[in-house]
C-alpha cells in the first residue's frame, strides 16, 4: 500500500506554504484563482484527503459548527416510516395509485426552518465549516443542545429554543449566535427581522379593505419571541384603527398546519370572522384547509393572511398574502456572524437586522376567487 499524501506533499507539489493549502481547502474564495487551481490540482494528483482530527488538534478546533432548533414547524402530516418493519423480500418495489387532483391538499414544500437550514449549509460550506444539525423536538431537558455544544466550535440557536441559564452556560464555552427574536442587550450576536413593524403594516392593509368587525388573530406558542412581536405589531395596528382589542377573537396554535386547521374549525363553530391574521403561513394554510372543508370561501367570506413567505403560501389556492422573511439569508448571516466571532472572540456583540417584504395576494383581497 502506498504512503498516504500529506499536506506537506501537496504544498511542495503546488509550490506554496501549508497555510495556503489549508486556506484553499477551508476558504477557497480567499485565495487567488491561479493559486487555488494549482493547489487543487496537486490535491487531485496526489489523492490527498485532509485529516479533520489532525487539523482539529493543531488548531484546537473541530471545523464543525452547530445549528439547533426546536423543530416546531416540522411537517406534521408526514407518515411514520419504519424501514426495519418492511422486509425487502416482501415489500413491492413500487405501487401505482390514481389520485384525484386536490389543489388545496397539503404539499411537501420547503418550510421556514428548512430554508434557514439551507442558507446555513450554503454559508458553512463557503466558510469551510461542517454543519451539525440538532432538532430538539420533545426534548424538555435540552440534552440535544448540550450534546451538540460539546462537539462544535460554535452554535446557532433559534431564539427561546434554549433556556437562558442553559444558553449562558454554553456561551461560556463556545460562541453563540441567536436567530430571530429581538436583541435583548445580552452578549450574544443576533440575526433578527422587523416582525412587529411588518405585521403592523400587514394588519393595516387588511383593515383598509374590510369592515372592522369580525377580526381574528391566530398566534403562536406563548414562549415564541417572533410570535410575541407579531402580536405586538397586530395589536398596535388594531388600536391605531380605533378597534378595542377585546373585540378581536384571539386563538393560539403551535405554528403547525394541524393547529391552524383546529383553529379554523373553532372559528367556524364560533362564527367566521371578516378577516383572520395568522402569525405564520402554516397556521394560515391550516385554517384555509378547515374553511374549505366547512364550505367557507376565502377570500369571499373571510380574508386570511400569514407570515414567513414559505413556498406553500404561493402555491396555495387562493395564494396566501404573507410577509416574506429572508429565510436563506437568516441562515447565511448566522454562519457569517459565528465565523466572525471565532476569528475575533473579543469583538463587541453584533445584531444584524434583515429586511422583510409584504406580498399581497389573492387570499386577502376582495372581491376574489373563493376556495
Dihedral of CA atoms 352, 358, 359, 363 in degrees, nearest 10, equals 130
- State whether 236 and 139 are in the same domain: no
Same domain, 165 and 45: no
Q: Is pLDDT at 259 greater than 90 in this prediction?
A: yes
Q: DSSP string covering 96-164, please?
A: -------TTS------HHHHHHHHHHHHHHHHT-EEEEEE-TT-TT-HHHHHHHTT-SEEEEETTSS-H
- Residue 99, domain member (yes or no): no
Q: Are residues 41 and 111 in the same domain?
A: no
Residue 182 within any structural domain of the chain: yes
Q: What is the mean pLDDT of residues 175-190?
A: 85
Helix (H) or strand (E) holding 249: strand 249-252
Instruction: Classify residue 314: in a domain, yes or no.
Output: yes
pLDDT band at 190 (very low <50, low <70, confident <90, very high): very high
The contacts found for 76-82 with CB under 8 angstroms, 24 or more apart, are: 76/256, 76/257, 76/258, 77/106, 77/257, 77/258, 78/108
The length of the chain, given as a count of residues: 371
Angle between helix 18-26 and 33-46 (nearest 10): 90
| Per-residue pLDDT reduced to its tens digit, 108-159 | 445 788 889 999 999 998 888 889 988 776 665 567 788 888 888 999 998 8
In a domain, 226, yes or no: yes
CATH code of 140's domain: 3.40.50.2300
Query: Are 320 and 333 members of one domain?
Result: no
Is 227 found in the same domain as 124?
no
Q: At residue 359, does pLDDT exceed 50?
A: yes
Enter the C-alpha cell of residue 92.
Answer: 413491492
**Residues 263 and 283 reside in one and the same domain:** yes
Position 100 in a domain: no
Q: Which domain holds residue 36?
A: 7-50
On whether residue 55 sits in a domain, the answer given is no
183 pLDDT tier (thresholds 50, 70, 90): confident
What backbone torsions phi and psi does residue 132 show, to the nearest 5 degrees?
A: -105, 130
Q: How far is CA 77 from the centre of its chain?
A: 18
Query: Do 184 and 213 belong to one domain?
Result: no
Tell me the C-alpha distance between 166 and 139, whole Å.
13
Count of the separate structural domains present in the chain: 3
State how far the Cα of 183 lies from the Cα of 175, in Å rounded to an integer.
16
- Regarding pTM above 0.85, the answer is no
Same domain, 209 and 244: yes
- Asked whether residue 295 falls in the same domain as residue 344, the answer is no
Same domain, 110 and 155: yes
Q: Mark whether 243 and 310 lie in a shared domain.
A: yes
> Residue 43 is part of a domain; what is its CATH number?
1.10.260.40
Amino acid at each position: 500500500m502506498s504512503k498516504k499524501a500529506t499536506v506537506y506533499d501537496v504544498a511542495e507539489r503546488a509550490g506554496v506554504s501549508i497555510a495556503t493549502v489549508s486556506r484553499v481547502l477551508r476558504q477557497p474564495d480567499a485565495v487567488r484563482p491561479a493559486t487555488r487551481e494549482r493547489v487543487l490540482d496537486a490535491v487531485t494528483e496526489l489523492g490527498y484527503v485532509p485529516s479533520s482530527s489532525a487539523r482539529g488538534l493543531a488548531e484546537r478546533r473541530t471545523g464543525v459548527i452547530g445549528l439547533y432548533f426546536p423543530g416546531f414547524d416540522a411537517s406534521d402530516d408526514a407518515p411514520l416510516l419504519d424501514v426495519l418493519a418492511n422486509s425487502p423480500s416482501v415489500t413491492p418495489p413500487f405501487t401505482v395509485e390514481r389520485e384525484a387532483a386536490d389543489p388545496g391538499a397539503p404539499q411537501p414544500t420547503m418550510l421556514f426552518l428548512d430554508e434557514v437550514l439551507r442558507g446555513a449549509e450554503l454559508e458553512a460550506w463557503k466558510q469551510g465549516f461542517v454543519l451539525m444539525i440538532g432538532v430538539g423536538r420533545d426534548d424538555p431537558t435540552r440534552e440535544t443542545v448540550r450534546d451538540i455544544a460539546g462537539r462544535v466550535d460554535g452554535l446557532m440557536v433559534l431564539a427561546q429554543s434554549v433556556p437562558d441559564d442553559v444558553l449562558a452556560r454554553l456561551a461560556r464555552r463556545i460562541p453563540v449566535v441567536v436567530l430571530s427574536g429581538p436583541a435583548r442587550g445580552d452578549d450574544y450576536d443576533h440575526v433578527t427581522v422587523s416582525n412587529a413593524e411588518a405585521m403592523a403594516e400587514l394588519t393595516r392593509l387588511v383593515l383598509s379593505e374590510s369592515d372592522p368587525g369580525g377580526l381574528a388573530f391566530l398566534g403562536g406558542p406563548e414562549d415564541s419571541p417572533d410570535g410575541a412581536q407579531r402580536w405586538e405589531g397586530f395589536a398596535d395596528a388594531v388600536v391605531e384603527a380605533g378597534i378595542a382589542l377585546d373585540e378581536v377573537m384571539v386563538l393560539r396554535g403551535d405554528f403547525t398546519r394541524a393547529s391552524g386547521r383546529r383553529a379554523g374549525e373553532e372559528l367556524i363553530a364560533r362564527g367566521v370572522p371578516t378577516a383572520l391574521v395568522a402569525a405564520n403561513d402554516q397556521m394560515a394554510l391550516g385554517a384555509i384547509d378547515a374553511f374549505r372543508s366547512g364550505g367557507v370561501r376565502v377570500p369571499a367570506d373571510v380574508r386570511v393572511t400569514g407570515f414567513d413567505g414559505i413556498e406553500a403560501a404561493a402555491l396555495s389556492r387562493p395564494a396566501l398574502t404573507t410577509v416574506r422573511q429572508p429565510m436563506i439569508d437568516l441562515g447565511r448571516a448566522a454562519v457569517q456572524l459565528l465565523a466572525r466571532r471565532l476569528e475575533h472572540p473579543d469583538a463587541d456583540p453584533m445584531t444584524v437586522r434583515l429586511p422583510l417584504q409584504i406580498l399581497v395576494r389573492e387570499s386577502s383581497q376582495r372581491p376574489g376567487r373563493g376556495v
